[in-house]
Amino acid sequence: MKRINVYLKLRVLGAIDSMAGNSIISRIKEVCKLTFHDEDGTPHVFTWRTIQTWLSIYKQFGVQALVNRPRADKGKPRKLCPEQLQEAIEQVLPEFHDTRYNKMMIYRRCIERGVLAQSDCSQTSFFRLVRQFDLLTPATQTENKKRLAFSKQYANEMWQLDTMFGPFMKNGKTSTQAKLIAFIDDASRVVPHGQFFFSENTDNLIVALKAALYKRGIPQILYVDNGAIYTCQEINQICARLGIVLAHTPVRDGAAKGKVERFFRTVRDQFLLQKLDLSSLESLNRQFHQWVETDYNTRIHGTLQMKPIDRFGMDLGRIRFLNPMEANDELFYVEQSRTVRKDNTFGINSTRYEAPRDLADRTIEVRYNRASPERIIVYYKGERMGEATLLDFLANDRPPSKRQIATQPDAITPAKPFENQ
């Protein structure tokens, strides 16, 4: 639709004073009955609400506020980001590994599989985004970018994180391709942790991240791509609690994470070529962990000219470790806001819980493990209030004993802050 220039807007506003009426609204409604022509002779009729909005903007900010400005999202997809489209394409591409394919075949398969919605991505938008971001072009054939070789000075200054598609394994009655989620330290080239999963989702990423932090400490920066699991709310919350900077690569720039990509090539060329026991995911992970700790981390690295584990040990005094304690599990819980009802209860996943203190009519933050929400931790204004309990209607029907009343904590008494926050 053609945008209205500032000169036509001023002509419309100038016609208000010449209209008959006892109020500004009545005169504006008379103006909306008129037809205005722009410089091209195109007729325009405006609603009274549009004219009222222009008048309000003009009175508050002047003529400059009426000037049309370019859209902030001009040239950007508004329904589907390139990262989401790339993930959808990668899910269906393995089905065409033995046959020739074109963009139309990929698009139709994405719609059939349900990884793309036709309402969110039309055929024209699909073709345009694929062409604009080279989504079907191998990374080795995309336009080269100027790069500088770099390395962090100290261990745990930055970890690179990515996912690699591994071998097909039996998963129940079907065959599923295993996915390797792995970390690598930028300075020492140590692999803090790597683990195969049947699915690449947020819960599995948290499992791998938790193991890596316990084994090799807390990095200052976590360098990831723009995949859905690396931009989700849970990962951002975990990094914020631990003081980790979550940095993202540019779109379709896999070479930006060159060290972890090079490690994946080593995994394919050395580990996956071995005679492996692929009977279960547990056996594959056991063999992978043994290979990483006894072979990769302890073999002299070509660039470092020393073992990665020895290079990592040189900076042990600078590394911040995560103490093994039960309360640390709360660092990896998802956090959501809830409003406590007048009866001091709140709901999570259609289940009602009782707040550990008197928090009626207050907005709280709850943390829990999304995979198994057994412990619900309640926070109020940054203070840890305690663990919520499952609502028991029958127990609440009985009056509390004198001992329970005497030991009941005062309302909104600040608890001791969580030590790891």
pLDDT score recorded for residue 237: 87
Query: Do 51 and 108 sit in the same domain of this protein?
Result: no
Share of the chain above pLDDT 70, in %: 85
Q: Is the per-residue pLDDT at 276 higher than 70?
A: yes
Query: Do 361 and 340 sit in the same domain of this protein?
Result: yes
The answer to whether the beta carbons of residues 207 and 369 sit under 8 Å apart is no
pTM: 0.59
d(CA 310, CA 324): 24
The answer to whether the beta carbons of residues 199 and 189 sit under 8 Å apart is no
* Tokens, residue 72: 């902030």
pLDDT score recorded for residue 329: 82
Q: Which residue, among 281, 91, 95, 284, has the nearest Cα to 172 in the 3D structure? A: 281
The answer to whether the beta carbons of residues 205 and 181 sit under 8 Å apart is yes
pLDDT score recorded for residue 37: 85
Query: Do 198 and 278 sit in the same domain of this protein?
Result: yes
d(CA 211, CA 416): 27
On whether residue 151 sits in a domain, the answer given is no
* Burial call 78-109: b when 16+ CB within 10 Å, e when fewer: eebbbbbbbbbbebbeeeeeeeeeeeeebbeb
Model confidence at 301, in pLDDT bands (50, 70, 90)? confident
Query: Do 205 and 306 sit in the same domain of this protein?
Result: yes
Find the helix or strand (DSSP H, E) in which 386 lies.
strand 383-387
d(CA 312, CA 184): 11
On whether residue 420 sits in a domain, the answer given is no
Q: How far is CA 129 from the centre of its chain?
A: 21
Query: Do 103 and 169 sit in the same domain of this protein?
Result: no
Query: Do 314 and 337 sit in the same domain of this protein?
Result: no
Model confidence at 3, in pLDDT bands (50, 70, 90)? confident
The crossing angle, in degrees rounded to 10, of helices 103-113 and 82-92 is 90
On whether residue 414 sits in a domain, the answer given is no
Query: Do 213 and 305 sit in the same domain of this protein?
Result: yes
Q: Which residue, among 75, 277, 77, has the nearest Cα to 167 in the 3D structure? A: 277
Residue 90 has φ and ψ, to the nearest 5°, of: -70, -25
Tell me the average pLDDT of the chain.
Answer: 82
pLDDT score recorded for residue 207: 92
The answer to whether the beta carbons of residues 238 and 329 sit under 8 Å apart is no
Query: Do 114 and 163 sit in the same domain of this protein?
Result: no
On whether residue 259 sits in a domain, the answer given is yes
The 8-class DSSP code of residue 317 comes to G
Q: Is the per-residue pLDDT at 398 higher than 70?
A: no
d(CA 354, CA 417): 21
Q: Is the per-residue pLDDT at 410 higher than 70?
A: no
Query: Do 164 and 258 sit in the same domain of this protein?
Result: yes
Query: In Å, how far are 78, 264, 316, 320, 349 from 208, measured between CA atoms?
Result: 32, 16, 22, 18, 25
Domain boundary among 260, 288, 318: 318
The SS3 assignment for 334 reads strand
pLDDT score recorded for residue 149: 47
Exposed (0-12), middle (13-18) or buried (19+): which is 250, by Cβ within 10 Å?
exposed
From the CB of residue 113, how many other CB atoms can be counted at a distance below 10 Å? Answer: 12
On whether residue 413 sits in a domain, the answer given is no
Q: Are strands 158-171 and 221-224 parallel, antiparallel or unpaired?
A: parallel
The 8-class DSSP code of residue 256 comes to G
pLDDT score recorded for residue 159: 92
pLDDT score recorded for residue 310: 93
The per-residue pLDDT for range 342-361, each reduced to its tens digit, is 988 998 888 889 999 888 99
Domain boundary among 285, 318, 351: 318
**Structural domain that includes position 12:** 6-66
Mean pLDDT within 157-164:
91
Greater model confidence, 136 or 24: 24
On whether residue 13 sits in a domain, the answer given is yes
The answer to whether the beta carbons of residues 28 and 52 sit under 8 Å apart is yes
The per-residue pLDDT for range 49-65, each reduced to its tens digit, is 999 998 998 888 888 88
Query: In Å, how far are 93, 216, 297 from 306, measured between CA atoms?
Result: 39, 19, 10
Query: Do 260 and 131 sit in the same domain of this protein?
Result: no
Question: What does 31-42 look like in DSSP terms, one character per residue?
Answer: HTTS-EE-TT--
On whether residue 51 sits in a domain, the answer given is yes
Query: Do 303 and 265 sit in the same domain of this protein?
Result: yes
On whether residue 90 sits in a domain, the answer given is yes
Query: Do 162 and 307 sit in the same domain of this protein?
Result: yes
Q: Which residue, among 153, 183, 178, 180, has the nearest Cα to 167 in the 3D structure? A: 178
Domain CATH code at residue 177: 3.30.420.10
Sign of CA dihedral 114, 115, 118, 120: positive
Number of domains in the chain: 4
Find the helix or strand (DSSP H, E) in which 159 lies.
strand 158-171
Q: Which residue, among 373, 334, 374, 376, has the nearest Cα to 359 in the 3D structure? A: 376
Partner residues linked to 44 by β-bridges: 36
